[in-house]
Amino acid sequence: MQRVIGLISGTSVDGIDAALVEISGREMDLAVNLLAAETYSYPPALREQILALCAGVPLSLKDLAALDDAIAAKFAEAALAIQVKHPQPVDLIGSHGQTVYHRPPTAKRLGYTLQLGRGDAIAQQTRIPTVTNMRAADIAVGGQGAPLVSKLDVCLLSHPQKARCVQNIGGIGNLTFLPAQTAQTLPDTLLGWDTGPGNVLLDLAVQHLTNGQQTYDQNGAWAATGKPCTALVDTWLQDNFFYQPPPKSTGRELFGPDYLQQCLATAPAYDLDSADFLASLTELTARSIVDNYRRFLPQMPQEVLLCGGGSHNAYLRQRLQAHLDPIPVRTTTDVGLHADAKEAIAFAVLAYWRWHQIPGNLPAVTGAHRPVVLGDLCIPF
């Protein structure tokens, strides 16, 4: 058994999710005991710098180095803070870092991905061996480098009788399809990919509509007072990404401020108020998820398990349920895996797999040519 801390800040750039876990076993016999889960917000100025970089604002290498140090310091602080109430020694940290650029691969060119918050600085500041740069090895063997949580989903959430979809709704949405299975080996029919926008466009729209006073639509309460415009959502759903067969991954490079501007530009013809516009963007997230299932899964799941911040958006959940009926939409928390901490837990487990030289990617999901051990191990000096 090892005690490991997992750290991630996702595409929403809302803060660092940290999980402290005890891990044992290897793959289908993996066991994870969650001791603590916290989210540590970024200071607003740091968040602004990250969002500007993601949006393509030029940055000198000197400023990039300073930003990398600042992010690493926040991740190290998070790792120290989560240990305060659990002082027993921690063996390992798995830190995803903060993605600031992600370019999926093409037939001719490898993908490219950049996460800030370097592991050497985290290891030095926490005195704990730290695994980072988890996506690079998968990309080097032709993969998307994403989604990386799927292997954890397979190991912890497979059901003997029910086919399940685990649907993460972070800034971007991603799913893992888990066929019903009882075998103690990894199934070969599983699938997973990024479905498109999760909360990212909604968050950007709320910021736009409130002049930055609000950052998200809490519980979907604002959107729930509007009505989605089906004709407009249908036009948005024409985007190539939703038709692109898996494996596929995406980020703020596609679903970012420019994309929101395009959505805003197409809206006036439909005479919508702010609530209708937000309801329509929520509908885009819900329908893009369900369209992806209908288009690319071998069968519809018997159960959908939500996780990530969007699982708290009651209106989004209601729209997903309406489109998926009669398939039940629940959360991973309902089946024993903390829906807000799952991504952080995944990066703790990926670090554990790195330590034990067990591959962390699933080629069926990322499109990589083979399973590879993920991450760079940084030892404190």
Check the annotation: does 367 bind a ligand. no
Inter-CA distances, 133 with 67, 99, 137, 193, 346, Å: 16, 10, 8, 20, 14
- DSSP code of 149? S
- Report the site for Mg ion in 351-370 (rule: CB under 5 A): none
Per-residue contact flags (x/-) with Mg ion for residues 2 to 31, judged by CB under 5 A: --------x-x-x-----------------
Is 361 a binding residue for ligand ADP by CB under 6 A? The answer is no
In this chain, which of 105, 111, 308, 363 binds ligand ADP, going by CB under 6 A? 308
Of the two residues 10 and 256, which places its CB atom closer to Mg ion in the complex? 10
Q: Select the binding partner of residue 203 from ligand ADP, Mg ion, none (C-beta < 5 to 8 A, by kind).
A: ligand ADP
Reference 165, options 178, 174, 155, 156; nearest CA is 178
Determine the interface stretch with ligand ADP among 5-13, 26-34, 245-253, 268-276 (rule: CB under 6 A). Answer: 5-13
Is 220 a binding residue for ligand ADP by CB under 6 A? The answer is yes
Check the annotation: does 14 bind a ligand. yes
Q: Select the binding partner of residue 367 from Mg ion, ligand ADP, none (C-beta < 5 to 8 A, by kind).
A: none
CB distance 39 to 341 below 8 Å: no
Is 199 a binding residue for ligand ADP by CB under 6 A? The answer is yes
In the complex, the smallest distance separating the C-beta of residue 12 from Mg ion, rounded to whole angstroms, is 5
Other C-beta atoms closer than 10 Å to the C-beta of 240 total 7
Reference 246, options 174, 347, 346, 342; nearest CA is 174
Check the annotation: does 95 bind a ligand. no
Check the annotation: does 251 bind a ligand. no
Check the annotation: does 290 bind a ligand. no
Query: 63: left (phi > 0), else alpha (psi -120 to 50), else beta?
Result: alpha
Check the annotation: does 16 bind a ligand. yes
Q: Longest C-alpha distance within the chain, in Å?
A: 62
Percent helix, strand and coil across the chain, each to the nearest 5: 40, 20, 40
CB distance 377 to 153 below 8 Å: no
Strand partners, 192: 176
Of the two residues 224 and 374, which places its CB atom closer to ligand ADP in the complex? 224
Check the annotation: does 310 bind a ligand. no
Determine the interface stretch with ligand ADP among 145-153, 185-193, 265-273, 305-313 (rule: CB under 6 A). Answer: 305-313
Of the two residues 10 and 301, which places its CB atom closer to Mg ion in the complex? 10
Token pair, residue 339, equals: 């829906």
CB distance 156 to 176 below 8 Å: no
Q: Look at the chain and count its residues.
A: 381
In this chain, which of 6, 309, 367, 375 binds ligand ADP, going by CB under 6 A? 309
Place of tokens 């497979």: 158
Is 310 a binding residue for ligand ADP by CB under 6 A? The answer is yes
Amino acid at 279: A
In the complex, the smallest distance separating the C-beta of residue 217 from ligand ADP, rounded to whole angstroms, is 6
In this chain, which of 313, 332, 361, 366 binds ligand ADP, going by CB under 6 A? 313
In the complex, the smallest distance separating the C-beta of residue 289 from ligand ADP, rounded to whole angstroms, is 15
Check the annotation: does 239 bind a ligand. no
- Report the site for ligand ADP in 128-187 (rule: CB under 6 A): 170-171
Strand partners, 173: 169, 196
In terms of Cβ atoms closer than 10 Å to its own Cβ (0-12, 13-18, 19+), residue 255 is: buried
Amino acid at 144: Q
In the complex, the smallest distance separating the C-beta of residue 94 from ligand ADP, rounded to whole angstroms, is 15
Of the two residues 276 and 343, which places its CB atom closer to Mg ion in the complex? 343
Is 256 a binding residue for ligand ADP by CB under 6 A? The answer is no
Other C-beta atoms closer than 10 Å to the C-beta of 192 total 27
Other C-beta atoms closer than 10 Å to the C-beta of 89 total 8
First to last CA, the chain: 24
Is 219 a binding residue for ligand ADP by CB under 6 A? The answer is yes
Residue ranges of the binding site? 10-17
Residue ranges of the binding site for ATP? 10-17
Q: Which residues in this chain contact ligand ADP in the complex, by CB under 6 A? A: 10-12, 14, 170-171, 199, 203, 216-220, 308-310, 312-313, 343
Q: Which residues in this chain contact Mg ion in the complex, by CB under 5 A? A: 10, 12, 14
